[in-house]
Structures are given as C-alpha cells and as structure tokens.
Amino acid sequence: MHIHAMSDHSNPHTLSGAALEQRFAELDQFLLEHQALWRPRPFVHYPTLPWETDHPELAHWLRQQSLEHADSAHNQPHQLKGAPDPFPQLAATAARLSQLGAHPQTATTSIPARLSNGIPGRKWEQINAFSRSLHFAHPPTHWLDWCSGKGHLGRLLARDGAQLTCLEHDDELVRSGQQLSGKLGIPAQHIQQDVLSADASLQLKTAHTPVALHACGELHTRLLQLASAANCTQLAIAPCCYNRISTQHYQPLSQQAQQSALILDIDDLGLPLSETVTAGARVKRHRDQSMAWRLGFDLLQRELRGENSYLSTPSLPAAYLDKSFDVFCKDLAKLKELPEPNTQNWPALEQLGWQRLAVVRNLELLRNIFRRPLELWLLLDRALYLEASGYQVKLGTFCAYEQSPRNLLLLAERN
Ligand SMILES: C[S@@+](CC[C@H](N)C(=O)[O-])C[C@H]1O[C@@H](n2cnc3c(N)ncnc32)[C@H](O)[C@@H]1O
C-alpha cells in the first residue's frame, strides 16, 4: 500500500493523543470568551446587534460594505482585508486554532469505472477521498456502511472482497442499493434500519468496521456510542448537520465538553454549516431574494405586531418567490396570522430588505470567523469521547474544502 505523506513541515498535522485535549481546551476558551460576538444572529436582530456598542468602529465599517463584499469574504472571512479591530486579531486566532492536517492518502489505484457509474461527480470525489484516507492496523474484514444511502461508499471499500452491510432507513434507497450491489456482483446486505431505534444496537458486531460519510447529528453520535459498546476495533466518521438533534440543546459526549460552560442550542449548531460553497448562480440568486424579502417582511411584521422582535417564518416553497413582493408579504402575514398589511410603499420596503441583506451578510462575517473553531470543538468532543472509550483517534481532513466543506474525518482504532 503506497501512502503519500501529505503533512510535511510546512503543513499542519492531524490531531491525536494529548493534542486533542489541548486543542479542545484552547477552542473552548476562545469560543467562551467571544460568545457575545458569534452567538447573536444578525438576521434576527434589528436595528443593531448587542456587540455593536462595544465595537462601534468595526460595526460601522461592516455596515458600509456591499453585498458583493460580503459574498467574496463569506467562505474565507479570516482573509478579509481592512477590517478594524478586533476583527484581524480574532481572525488570526481562529485560523491558528482551526489548523488541521490532511489524513495521509493511499495512492490512487485504478478503480473499475462501473463502480462510479451514476454517482454525481462531487459525491464520487468525496467517497473516493474518504476511502483513500482509511488505513487501519488491522485490515477490515466486514464494513458497516452507516446511513449508507445506496451504499456507494461501502461498495467501493468492499470491492476487494471484504463483507459489506449497509444500514439505511429509506426503503427506496435500500432497494436500489441492493439492486446496484447485485448488478456489480458485490455480495452486500442492504438492511432497512432506523439507526436511532432501540433495536439498532443489534446490527453492530465486534467484527464490523463502521464507516459513516455525512451522517447527520444524532445519526453519527449514535454510531459512536453503539460501536464502542459493541467493541468494534475501528471506525471512521465524517459528520455533518450538527443541528439535526432531537433535544433543544447539544448533549456533549465527552467529559471535557460536559464540563465546559459552553451550552449550545440548535441555532448555534447551525453556525458550522453556514458556508455556501455548493451554490450555483441561480441557487444563489434565489437564496438572496428569499433572504432580502424575508428581511423586508421582518420590518413589516414588527410594525404589524407593534413589537420590535423577530418572528420566525417557515421555509417556503420556491413558488413563493415567483409572486410579487407585496403578495409574498400578504401571504406570509396570513400564514403567521398577523393583521392584514395596510397600504404600503412596497417597492421601498423591498428595497429596504435588500439593503438589510447587505448589512446582515457583512455583519455575519464576524460570526463566520468562529464557524470552523466551533466545528472543530464538536469534532474534538467526539474524539475525546472515543479516546475515553479506549480508542486511539486521529482527526484530520479527508478532502479539499471545495469538494465538501464537511471535510473532517475521525479515525478511531482500539488495540
Ligand atoms: C447525507 S445522507 C448520506 C448518505 C451516504 N452516506 C452518502 O454519503 O452518500 C444521510 C443518509 O442517512 C439516512 N438516514 C436518515 N435518518 C436515518 C435513520 N434514522 N436511520 C438510518 N438512516 C437514516 C438518509 O436516508 C440518508 O440516506
């Protein structure tokens, strides 16, 4: 097996051993110290955010910038030029605390084209990168693809003859996964299973090597608990959607995180997911319009209710945006059982919505600095939990950020 050592001296390393706990403590302190800056969501605060009185110069500067400015800095807020204090210092600390190396990858070997047939390009790149990042001391004999979808990842891993079990709760995906495996001559078992139900523990065997690529919130934390209870020797997870949990607040897994004063709610857990790398121009245009219109409606609802507070609105079918702005507002007011809006200067209100969008997106840049630190804090909580359960853990990236912003991979092995 050829392994490219991807971390040389100029590159950061993957995290393991004592470094896990040390980084967790640093991130914990950083996040706690600056909660006032990253917790409040600019979208829901009007006319100003609580931190603006403490940092008037920064607030003023951000408020002057255009929507294009916010968009160009959105995914790399730490590279923003010219922002007043304390932005540059915070950005530098966040970048330092977010440094993380890539897992070494096995060299690309030729993979039969039929294995990638029908898999969208980016998905295939992610699966391929994930599989090349796994190198366990004991060669896996039985892969368990957790929340497998159609089981593309599992099939790639099991192509050389290891056994494969895929767990997935969507019937249709189980069926088409089984069909695909049959067609490709891979003797996989695709099992319909809700991994959150009590009987899911019966599916885990000590001989399994569980893998989970982009299993949301509780779906992957459940795997960590069940796999360590089942004594699995090794596992690999790349989490996503930290906010898909059934409790109001985050339930930390590790002792270190349980002892932290950081209490995260569902909105906080959405912060690491707020980048927009995957959007095409049309999707972006739609999202901008939806946000600008909601921000315009927000001004209206404050007036209609006679109360200066945010009112959450449901996600709406795309058809809502095909209406005119006034119809959009009237329909939304009806949906929220508000008084019918009286005569308004609709074009002016819509314009205010767009102006607010630019302001909100720029103010969000400060919050975005904390996106990766919070994500790493969450991954380290998982890593420390596994360490306490007797695993040796390595935390690193498995693919480029452009291939997927959810590019963190935890590898865990027991002796
Ligand atoms: C983001 S997808 C990832 C799929 C696959 N691992 C991949 O990378 O292509 C998450 C998968 O979890 C499945 N899922 C959601 N809730 C589940 C549950 N309670 N039990 C089992 N699978 C579930 C979904 O149907 C979906 O296929």
pLDDT beneath 70, residues of the chain: 1-10, 277-279
Ligand 1 mean position, distance from CA 325 (Å): 37
Q: Which atom of ligand 1 is nearest to the CA of 215?
A: 10
pLDDT (0 to 100) of residue 7: 38
- pLDDT tens, position by position, 256-298: 999 999 999 999 999 999 887 656 788 888 999 999 999 999 9
Q: Which atom of ligand 1 is nearest to the CA of 196?
A: 19
Question: Probe ligand 1: pick from 169, 174, 204, 221, max atoms within 8 Å of CB?
Answer: 169
| Ligand 1 touching residue 349 (CB < 6 A) | no
| Ligand 1 touching residue 144 (CB < 6 A) | no
- pLDDT tens, position by position, 161-192: 999 999 999 999 999 999 999 999 999 999 99
CA–CA distances in Å: residue 260 to residues 32, 180, 217, 265: 9, 46, 20, 14
pLDDT (0 to 100) of residue 1: 41
pLDDT (0 to 100) of residue 278: 59
Residue 4, H or E segment = strand 3-4
Ligand 1 mean position, distance from CA 211 (Å): 12
pLDDT (0 to 100) of residue 276: 74
Ligand 1 mean position, distance from CA 169 (Å): 7
Q: Can you say whether the dihedral through the CA atoms of 407, 408, 410, 411 is positive or negative? A: positive
pLDDT (0 to 100) of residue 66: 97
Long-range (24+ apart) CB contacts under 8 A made by 221-228 are 221/253, 221/382, 222/195, 222/196, 223/146, 223/195, 224/253, 224/382, 224/385, 224/386, 225/253, 226/200, 226/201, 228/386, 228/389, 228/390, 228/391
Place of tokens 């030729």: 110
pLDDT (0 to 100) of residue 15: 98
Residue 189: strand pairing partners:
165
Residue nearest atom 1 of ligand 1, based on CA coordinates: 214
Q: pTM of the full predicted structure?
A: 0.94
